[in-house]
Amino acid sequence: MTTSNASLKRWVEDVARLTQPDSIHWCNGSDAENSALIEAMLKSGDLIKLNQDTHPNCYLHRSHPSDVARVEHLTYVCTRNKEDAGPNNHWMDPIEAHRKVDNLFAGAMKGRTMYVIPYCMGPIDSPFARCGVEISDSPYVVVNMRMMTRMGDAALKRIEREDKYVKGLHSIGDLNPDRRFIMHFPEELTIKSVGSGYGGNALLGKKCHALRIASFQAREEGWLAEHMLLMGLQSPEGKTHYVAAAFPSACGKTNLAMLVPPNSMPGWKIWTLGDDISWLHVDDEGQLRAINPESGYFGVVPGTNRKTNCNAYDMIQRDTIFTNVAVTEDNQPWWEGLETGKPALDWQGKPYTGNGPAAHPNSRFTVSAKQNPIYSTLADAPEGVPISAILFGGRRREVAPLVYEARNWAHGVLVGAGMASETTAAAVGQMGVVRRDSMAMKPFAGYNFADYFGHWLKLGSGKNASKLPKIFHVNWFRQDRNGKFMWPGFGENLRVLKWIADRCDGRAEAIETPIGLVPRKQDLDVSGLNMDASTLETLLSIDPAAWRQEIDAIGKYLDEYGSRVPSQLREELKGVAKRLEASNAA
């Protein structure tokens, strides 16, 4: 098999000359091809068959101990002008980067098969989808990309029609951390990754394409590529609102995307369209619509159980590839947070002695999105879904109320730009250190953050964007003086989502505060929660003194991006500061 696309054929030939594989395989995405790859990996030891009685069609992959996570310090955005990459990215001159990484690719595939993987991010026939081709010497990458993207013949046909695609070159190399780089060339729509087999570094359709390169594409083409879950919220009356939400790690993103409504809210349903990435476009009617460019989940597995995320737990009981989990005596996958079972071998395959975690803290599952019990078939809709609300959220013990609504789109951009989480003692040895992670995109924006903020503002002020969603900030993690969480979280977050949906419909009241619109106590349904009035009042309270400090901190954070920060964003910041001063004077 080959291709009728001359540029693609030439690029594959050039890569083969550089990397010198023993053979070239053009991936078609078929069941037969997938089965053959799995069988070959079972023979080579790249995959281990798990207990097929309890976990049919499930396999374990163990990566090298030095290769278990994304490597931000070795991840570069290579633009001609350093300022275009911004202080939010590591930068390298493109000429130097190509030279450095191509030296590592030279002969890297000797003795291996070179796989050519055509894929589509988003529904094959969607005008909002974008295509790519990853060349890799890893069969593990192939089987994962088949679950995570629309991979194979249909994608290749679209590439041949459009003649526009992201080029991704990957080799596991020799897994030497000193010879490991993930290079992005947004101006060339090119990715080069060498020296790692870990998903986030090797599945180039995911963070590399769907966020870093796509965010650059989105700015050029007038849309948004965002690190956001995508969910549907259906009321007992049958009306559905679609919500996109951005959260930094450890803030409950996957749990929200797969939320299970509490028994106290009968008739409500949640539909998952995506747990990680959303691409948002303004349609011909001025409505912001979204697709999930992925077709699978590459999720962190520790902590997943029937109580924390029943839907995620159920869907990984079959047809799943686990990476770096432990196994029990009878070869079932095991990780911290499971309520049953006992690990016999740790994630490296060594007898587990009880010291430290048995599964790696960043151990993963890869599974098709269609196995999610609350999967929405609209995830395959070419036109995407209309977005009613965008949520930004962080982990804050104080300062941020449970929920507030931005005054307008520009104010919402400021809310997203300033969002932050506080570290825990376990993470850094010091409680409460605030880390800003604008729109949860800090590691993933493929260009200067200041320009990124400007692009958000430009999209919102465009004459075609007449039906923009409302923007909200949520904080499930407010604590009392004893360090106890004041809000129950998990399924009870639906109570907040209900208020958000009602605000979008103009059916709920709110109080105007200096930072935005907050629910009145009677607007939030807390029946059955055993929550006293003072706790609810604290959850919805605004402390002007604390917020003046917050606004100062956001201003200093924006200063890190220099003169390219949009003046409109600084004006929004001044507006909040003035309203805070006025409220203090009153």
Residue 251 known to bind ligand: yes
Query: What's the rounded Cα separation, in Å, for the pair 375 and 501?
Result: 20
252 is in an annotated binding site: yes
Query: Any binding-site annotation on 369?
Result: no
493 labelled as ligand-binding?
yes
Report phi then psi at 445, rounded to 5. Answer: -70, 130
Could you tell me if 447 and 455 are in contact, meaning their C-beta atoms sit under 8 angstroms apart? Answer: no
* 310 known member of a binding site: no
Q: Is 584 annotated as a binding residue?
A: no
Q: In this structure, is the dihedral angle defined by the CA atoms of residues 321, 324, 329 and 334, taken in order, positive or negative?
A: negative
Inter-residue long-range contacts of 346-354, CB under 8 Å, 24+ positions, other chains counted: 347/62, 348/62, 348/65, 349/62, 352/326
In a 13 Å sphere around the CA of 511, the CA atoms on its Cβ side amount to: 15
| DSSP category for residue 211 | I
The verdict on whether residue 227 carries a ligand-binding annotation is yes
Burial 219-254 (b: 16+ CB within 10 A, else e): beeebbbbbbbbbbbbbeeeebbbbbbbbbeebbbb
Known binder of ligand: residue 63? Answer: no
Specify the 3-state DSSP secondary structure of 30: coil
**113 a known binding residue?**
no
The catalytic residue positions are 251
| C-beta contacts of 476-479 below 8 A and 24+ residues apart | 476/251, 476/252, 476/393, 476/402, 477/251, 477/394, 477/395, 477/396, 477/397, 478/396, 478/397, 478/398, 478/400, 478/401, 478/402, 478/538, 478/539, 479/397, 479/398
491 is in an annotated binding site: yes
Rounded to whole angstroms, the Cα distance separating 78 from 184 reads: 6
478 closest CA partner among 502, 501, 496? 496
Tell whether 276 is in a known binding site.
Answer: yes
Strand partners, 226: 278
**Any residues with CB less than 8 A from the CB of 321 and at least 6 apart, and which?**
47, 58, 59, 60, 61, 140, 143, 144, 147, 365, 366, 367
Q: Compute the radius of gyration of the chain from its Cα atoms.
A: 24
3-state DSSP assignment of residue 442: coil
Whether the CB-CB separation of 194 and 180 falls below 8 Å is answered with: yes
Category of 448 on φ-ψ map: left (φ > 0), alpha (ψ -120 to 50) or beta = beta
Nearest in space to 23 (alpha carbons), one of 111, 108, 138, 107: 111
Q: At what angle do helices 139-148 and 31-44 cross, to 10 degrees?
A: 140
**Is residue 249 a known part of a binding site?**
yes
Query: End-to-end CA distance of the chain, in Å?
Result: 75
Q: Does 275 show up as a binding residue in the annotation?
A: no
Q: Is 147 helix (H, G, I), strand (E, B) or coil?
A: helix
64 is in an annotated binding site: no
**Annotation-wise, does 253 bind a ligand?**
yes
Is 100 known as a binding-site position? no
Whether residue 412 is annotated as binding a ligand: the answer is no
Instruction: For residues 288 and 286, give the distance between their C-alpha atoms in angstroms, rounded to a whole number.
Output: 7
Is 356 annotated in a binding site? The answer is no
Count of CA atoms in the C-beta half-sphere (13 A) of 183: 29
Annotated binding residues for Mn(2+), written as ranges, equal: 207, 227, 276
Annotated binding residues, written as ranges, equal: 70, 198-200, 207, 227, 249-255, 276, 362-364, 395, 490-493
Annotated binding residues for GTP, written as ranges, equal: 250-255, 364, 395, 490-493
Annotated binding residues for substrate, written as ranges, equal: 70, 198-200, 249, 362-364
